[in-house]
Chain A
Amino acid sequence: MSDWEPKIAAFLCNWCSYGAADLAGVSRMEYPPNIRVIRIPCTGRMDPKFFLAALREGADGVWVSG
């Protein structure tokens, strides 16, 4: 399990967290390349089916931030 890497689907709010992730880049911060970001207009858009679909597609974790 030592080389196991989690796969994370991230749903980020366009207005805050998506911008924050942009700023992390502008600030040249580093983080592991395990997440795949899906931009949503607001976390209010999050549908429970999105979580389930992501998990079914093999994601080990779902991150919603907004």
Chain B
Amino acid sequence: MITFKLNGQTVQGEKGQYILQVAEKFGVDIPTMCHHKALDPAGMCRLCTVEVFDGRRTRYVTSCNYPIWEGMEVKTDTEIVREGRKLIVEMMLARCPESTAVQAIAKSYGIEKPRFQTGDDTCILCGLCTRMCERIGANAITLTQRGLDMRVDTPFSINTEACIACGACAFVCPTGHITYDKVKEKVTLHPGQPIPSEYDMGLKGRKPVYVPYAQAVPNTPAIDRTKCVHFKTGGCKVCVEFCGVDAIDHSMQDETVEVNVGSIILAPGFEPFDPSKFDTYNYAKHPNVITAMEMERLLSASGPTGGHLVRMSDHKEPKKVAWFQCVGSRDMNRCDNSYCSSVCCMYAIKEAVIAKEHAGAGLDCAVFFMDIRTHGKDFERFYNSAKDKHGVRFIRSRVHSITPVGDSGDLEVRYVTENGSLVVETFDMIVLSIGLQISPAVAEMAKNMGIELTEGRFCKTDSFNPVATSKPGVFVCGAFQGAKDIPQSVVDSSAAATAAGEILASARNTLTKVREAVPETDVTNARPRIGVFVCRCGINIAGVVDVPSVAEYAKTLPYVEFATDNLYSCSQDTQETISQIVKQKNLNRVVVAACTPKTHEPLFQETLINAGLNKYLFEMANIRNHDSWVHRNNPELATKKAKDLVRMAVSKAALIQPLKEAELDINPTALVIGGGLSGMAAARSLARQGYDTHIVEKSDRLGGQAHNLFRTAKGEDVQKKLAEMTADIEKDPKIHVHLKAALTKVDGFVGSFKSTLSSDGAEQILEHGVAVIATGGSAHTPQEYAYGSDPRVVTSLELDRKIIAGDPALKALNSAVFIQCVGSREPQRPYCSRVCCTHSVDNAIHLKEMNPDMNVFVLYRDMRTYGERELLYKKARTLGVIFIRYTLEQKPVVKVAGGKLLVTTTDPIIGRPVEIETDLITLATAVIPNRDEKLANFFKVPLNEDGFFVERHAKLGPSEFATDGVFLCGLAHYPKPIDEAIAQGQAAASRAVTLLARKKIYTSGTVAEIDPRMCSQCGVCVSVCPYSAPSWTEKGMFAGRAQVNPVLCKGCGLCVASCRSGAIHLKGFDNDQVFAQIFSLSEAV
């Protein structure tokens, strides 16, 4: 160690260090223009000149390359030093009067105009670029010539192969003299392309060292070996110099790790269709023709334009945007994807609505489509509101080509409207709603694994085992199973997890390790002794905030016994240090001022547990994400803010109390309400994983609506499969079926429900830990189209029953008509029943196959054969089934005249009514839920206005309720075909098992607690709680007053804020604690 004096302060540095390095460590600011941490110092700009006194005489040296020695005295800010620097800056400005960087530094020295003759250069000859080029390992540029002619150049001023166009010179150039365009023009022979960001769909560049996207898990940077300069030249490694924890190792190699597993789940996803080969759409050539994925990024707040909608050619705000549907889907002509991608209609509508929200209602949005397929839950409502409320135009037309209008960037399209007229319209940008497809790599993987694929290259599955591949033990979920949206993918993923869990149930908990528990110190009534740890986070915080001064400040705060700063508070060794300090200093509260509690609170709580403190005796001040990262140009105020945040955290910490997490046993029994296919699937899955399961079914047999169905879209015989499944259920000793039974009462909560079952007048009490609601749905009974008055008019399910029964009359029919959307997509029932299009198309095929001479008509509004069901639609047309579209305003008319059954409908192509004489009319009736308000009340779960149950989260929690321990599947959630109903049954079981497998539940410590003495019994808490946690105490001295069940409480504090008596306390966020933070604002604000 070398000891010397820096501005009067005694400091220490390592042998070989330069003055500048030591000064930086001690927070002494010395200006430089030519210094870079990763490069050897050169002393080129002379701006870092300081005064060195050796005991006899004073010298002026450049601090960046002057090594320290014992006993020296350095002064960095004397009058002479300042004057010298000013002169240097003045000369720089004279040389480069136009450089804004030099102007800025000159201004800081009070120089407006130099006294010397001015030149016209922009380079200050600092040599950063040439030294960087050398470090990169390219050695392409150097300082050429001498004296006045000295400049940065390539040898002989010719473009060179040696330059790899990495752009490092432009990056380090302090004056903007070197730009990447200049490198491409004058230096390199390489093309020089920015690296397109995969996440931003190439609309933005990224670095070779990068975090793929802001929410990536793990959120650590990766080095792109194909782009990193080090892997090309062997040089660079600049990143190593900047990493404070030595985490970068360029010598790491890919490893092949073998793992022994009992099951495999495939979730490789899809690849977006590449529309480049559609030359008439000009996607590859014109920047204003973009894909919907690119549009997603443009509309995203984290996207390349921050969510500001502009077109790519000239960054102009568009006035008119069009979406083209079915690009790369439902197309055998120009690509090989004859299936429907299921999600594009909905995402296009969503994008159009968001685009209008971002750009204002004046934006014209037009969607060109063939059929609008909004068959998901609440999607039809969204479509209607896009049309009626937001004014999105929907044009039923398939446009052939996009023609650029000169150089304007505008795009012209010609299309034929529904009434046959030709329209020419110009748009500012056009979005191609590209389809989903399976990548060749995934198809190859499937081939290698011996997994069968479908015609559309998706993974082949059985409707009754929707997540099982053709290979036992290998399961599939997501878009590889079929093009699908987020909720369906989430359902599938849970189902795949449970399918794997079924075969692995015996191995559950066999590889667990138990951690040794540290006894908890009792801090009751102890005076607070707070320890404050301020994190530097490398330079992430310390680069902006003056961390040592924050730590010093923390020492002055009440109850703070200890404060320090750490380089990385989250590192393993610091964690141990904190734990030791807590013990040594006898601390009983810990405050960490660092990144954010959202990511690191659990880690520090773990540290407290290891130090023998209750984990709730912890508070965090967010001085990185909320401070240093967002105020990097304002270090002074950022430091002040950090002190304020630490003070607020300390004042709260002084009041925090140790909290208990109550432990409760979970009854390992499940109750499934509803014995249809989806309920059966849930029960089977639960039983196979070892849990006793009760099925409560109101009718006298299992199977529900499946008894009415002939075959699935994939052609499986429903009755045969149902019989097999029923047999499975009946022989399973863990499944207890209660037929002709209903629930009459439900008590309890997650882990310990007590339900009263009434069956044939006899009552029985079932105790269970979880409940699955699978109450199903039924067919709507139509009041139109002569249904009920003429036996030749039947519903889809009635036709299926005729087919199952082998009715010979069917084969003899001359003509059959299917009418779609009977009771669906109408004002009184504004949802799509999802299954009816496929059902009718499949039955039309069946009739046609029985009797090819039969005239079969399908009258429809939008054909919604989503996914590979589209292939059935294609097959039906090939077989000669005639599809005629009708509108809600002009519905078909059925009449019986002289014994003849007549259907009249307007043909949209000829625009005139046509009359069909038919022998059979099949009405594709809506699926309606068994609206069960009593059950909804029993389990305190909500119903929507259509009578379907409302799941926890429309996208991410489709098979569970917000109420803990209650799960959802089947038609009770939304109309769905057999494969999806079974998958959701499995998904509900999967979600239930995540609870059951834990055996015990621990309540959170931060829950609400009612002081019954203060309760005025007003009932507000009971009514406002979304989780049904408060209830009335039934017995004891506080009977009639409210109490909170900590198991159900999510700690939101709604009841606390609503309590008019001040009887409710939210542990961890109690009034005194929040007020303490507010009161310590006063110094802050």
A binds B: yes
Which positions in A face B, CB cutoff 8 Å? 7-9, 14, 18-19, 21-31, 33, 36-42, 44-47, 49-50, 53-54, 57-60
Q: Which 3 A-B pairs have the closest CB atoms?
A: A45-B1053, A44-B1054, A25-B625
The CA-CA distance from A47 to B1066 in the complex, in Å, is 12
B968 proximal to A (CB < 8 A): no
Known: A30-B631, A33-B637. A45 touches B1081 (CB 8 A): no
A53 partner residues in chain B, CB cutoff 8 A: 1075, 1078-1079
Check if B1053 sits within 8 Å of A25, measured CB to CB: no
B634 within 8 A of A: yes
Asked whether A25 and B626 contact (CB < 8 A) given A33-B631, A36-B648, A42-B1053, the answer is yes
Quote the shortest CB–CB distance from A40 to chain B (angstroms): 6
Contact B626 A45 (CB under 8 A): no
B632 within 8 A of A: yes
| B residues lining the A interface (CB < 8 Å) | 214-215, 219, 302, 596-599, 622, 624-627, 629-634, 637-638, 640-641, 644-645, 648, 1006, 1024, 1051-1054, 1056-1057, 1066, 1068-1069, 1071, 1074-1075, 1077-1079, 1081-1082, 1084-1085
State whether A25 touches B1081 (Cβ < 8 A): no
Beyond A28-B632, A44-B1024, 8 additional pairs, beta carbon < 8 A: A9-B1081, A23-B302, A31-B630, A36-B1085, A45-B1066, A45-B1069, A49-B1075, A57-B1082
* Residues in A whose Cβ lies below 8 Å from that of B630: 24-25, 28-31, 33
Given A25-B626, A45-B1054, does the pair A38, B1084 have CB atoms closer than 8 Å? Answer: no
B1062 to chain A: closest CB distance in Å?
10
Which residues in B have their C-beta under 8 angstroms from that of A19? Answer: 598
| Among B597, B640, B644, B1057, contact of A46 (Cβ-Cβ < 8 Å) | B1057
**Inter-chain contacts of A50 with B (CB < 8 A):** 1074-1075, 1078
In the complex, the chain A residue whose C-beta lies closest to that of B629 is A25
Question: How far is B302's CA from A54's CA once the two chains are assembled, in angstroms?
Answer: 32
Q: Residue A21 contacts which of B625, B644, B1078, B1084 (CB distance < 8 angstroms)?
A: B625
Q: List 26 A-B contacts (CB under 8 A).
A: A7-B1085, A18-B598, A22-B599, A22-B622, A23-B214, A23-B302, A25-B626, A25-B630, A26-B214, A29-B630, A30-B632, A36-B648, A36-B1085, A38-B1078, A40-B1053, A40-B1074, A42-B1053, A44-B1024, A45-B1053, A47-B1057, A49-B1071, A53-B1079, A54-B1078, A54-B1081, A58-B1082, A59-B1081
Q: How far is the CB of A6 from chain B (nearest CB, A)?
A: 9
Closest approach, in angstroms, between the C-beta of A29 and any C-beta of chain B? 6
User: CA–CA, A38 to B626, complex, Å?
Assistant: 11
Distance A9 CA – B31 CA, assembled complex (angstroms): 36
Q: How far is the CA of A51 from the CA of B402 in the complex (A)?
A: 56
A19, closest chain B residue (CB): B598
A7–B637 Cα gap in the complex (Å)? Answer: 13
Please state if B1054 and A36 are interface contacts (CB–CB under 8 Å): no
Q: Name the CB-closest residue of B to A5.
A: B637
Interface pair B1057/A37, CB less than 8 Å apart: no
Q: Which residues of A contact B596 (CB under 8 A)?
A: 22, 25
CB distance from B946 to the nearest CB of A (A): 27
Contact B626 A57 (CB under 8 A): no
Q: How far is A19 from B1085 in the complex, measured between Cα atoms in Å?
A: 23
**B631 and A38: CB pair below 8 A?**
no
B626 x A22 contact (CB < 8 A): yes
Query: With A and B bound together, what is the CA distance between A8 and B648 in angstroms?
Result: 14
Contacts of B637 in A (CB 8 A): 33
Give the distance to chain B from A66, nearest Cβ to Cβ, in Å: 10
Separation of A53 and B633 alpha carbons in the complex (Å): 31
Distance A19 CA – B599 CA, assembled complex (angstroms): 10
The distance in angstroms between the C-alpha atoms of A33 and B630, with both chains bound, is 8
B215 partner residues in chain A, CB cutoff 8 A: 23
Q: How far is the CA of A9 from the CA of B641 in the complex (A)?
A: 12
Closest residue of chain B to A44, judged by CB? B1054
Q: Is the CB of A42 within 8 A of B1052?
A: yes
Question: Which residue of A has the minimal Cβ distance to B652?
Answer: A38
Q: B328 to nearest A CB, angstroms?
A: 32
Given A25-B629, A33-B638, A40-B1069: A9 touches B214 (CB 8 Å cut-off): no
Closest A residue to B1084 using CB positions: A36
Query: Which residues of chain A have C-beta atoms less than 8 A from B1066's C-beta?
Result: 41, 45
- Within the assembled complex, what's the spacing in Å between the Cα atoms of A29 and B214? 12
Using Cβ atoms and an 8 Å threshold, which residues of chain A touch B634? Answer: 33
Q: How far is the CA of A28 from the CA of B624 in the complex (A)?
A: 11
- Bound together, the chains give a CA A40 to CA B86 distance in angstroms of 51
- The reply to whether A41 and B1052 contact each other, CB–CB distance below 8 Å, is yes
Name the contact of A45 in the complex, choosing from B214, B622, B1057 (C-beta under 8 A). Answer: B1057
Residues of chain B with a CB closer than 8 A to A31's CB: 630-631
Pick from B624, B1079, B1084 the residue with the most CB of A within 10 Å: B1084
Interface hub of B597, B626, B648, B1084 (most chain A Cβ within 10 A): B626
B1025 to chain A, nearest CB (A): 9
Distance in angstroms from A59 CB to nearest chain B CB is 5
Residues from chain A with Cβ under 8 Å of B641 in the complex: 33, 36
A39 to B629, CA, bound (A): 18
Question: Which residues on the A side are within 8 Å of B1075 (C-beta)?
Answer: 49-50, 53
Q: Which residues does chain B contribute within 8 Å of A26, judged by CB atoms?
A: 214, 219, 625, 629
Assembled-state Cα–Cα distance A58/B644 (Å): 14
Q: How far is the CA of A29 from the CA of B634 in the complex (A)?
A: 13
B contact residues around A9 at 8 Å (CB): 1078, 1081, 1085
User: Whose C-beta in chain A lies nearest to the C-beta of B214?
Assistant: A26
Q: Kindly state the separation between the CA atoms of A19 and B305 in the bound complex, as whole angstroms.
A: 21
A30 to B633, CA, bound (A): 9
Most chain A CB atoms below 10 A, which of B215, B622, B648? B622
B1025 to chain A: closest residue by CB: A44
Distance in angstroms between the alpha carbons of A46 and B1084 in the assembled complex:
21
> Which residue of chain A is the closest to B302 with respect to CB atoms?
A27
Partner of B1079, one of A39, A45, A47, A57: A57
Chain A residues in 8 Å Cβ range of B1079: 53, 57
Q: Contact check, A47 vs B1071: say whether CB atoms are below 8 A apart.
A: yes
Smallest Cβ-Cβ distance to A8: which chain B residue: B1085
Provided the pairs A30-B631, A45-B1066, A46-B1057 are in contact, do residues A57 and B1078 lie with their beta carbons within 8 angstroms?
yes
Given contacts A31-B630, A33-B638, contact A38 B1082 (CB under 8 A): no
- For B625, give the chain A residue with the smallest CB separation: A25
Closest Cβ neighbor of B1080 among chain A residues = A57
A40-B1053, A41-B1051, A47-B1057 are contacts. A7–B214 as well, Cβ < 8 Å?
A: no
Complex Cα–Cα for A57 and B144 (A):
64
User: A28: nearest residue on chain B (CB-CB)?
Assistant: B629
Chain A contacts for B629, CB-based, 8 A: 25-26, 28
B1069 touches A36 (CB 8 A): no
Contact B214 A27 (CB under 8 A): yes
By a CB distance below 8 angstroms, the chain B residues around A45 are: 1052-1054, 1056-1057, 1066, 1069, 1074
CA distance A3 to B1006 in the complex (A): 42
**How far, in angstroms, from A8 to B1056 measured CA to CA in the complex?**
24
Distance (whole angstroms) from the CB of A30 to the closest CB of chain B: 6
Assembly CA distance A4 to B1068 (angstroms): 36
Q: In whole angstroms, how far apart are the Cα atoms of A30 and B635 in the complex? A: 13
A58 to B1085, CA, bound (A): 6
B1074-A25 in contact (CB<8A): no
Q: How far is the CB of A9 from chain B (nearest CB, A)?
A: 6
Closest to A7 in B: B1085
Q: Are A37 and B631 in contact (CB under 8 A)?
A: no
Measured CB to CB, the nearest residue on chain A to B639 is: A33
CA distance A50 to B1081 in the complex (A): 12
Most B CB atoms within 10 A — which of A18, A22, A58? Answer: A22
Of A27, A29, A49, A57, the residue contacting B1081 (CB under 8 A) is: A57
What is the bound-complex CA distance between A59 and B1085, given in angstroms? 6
Contacts of B1068 in A (CB 8 A): 41
Judge whether B1084 and A7 touch: CB under 8 Å: yes
**Residues of A close to B1053: CB separation below 8 A:** 40-42, 44-45
- The complex places the Cα of A52 from the Cα of B1057 at a distance, in Å, of 14
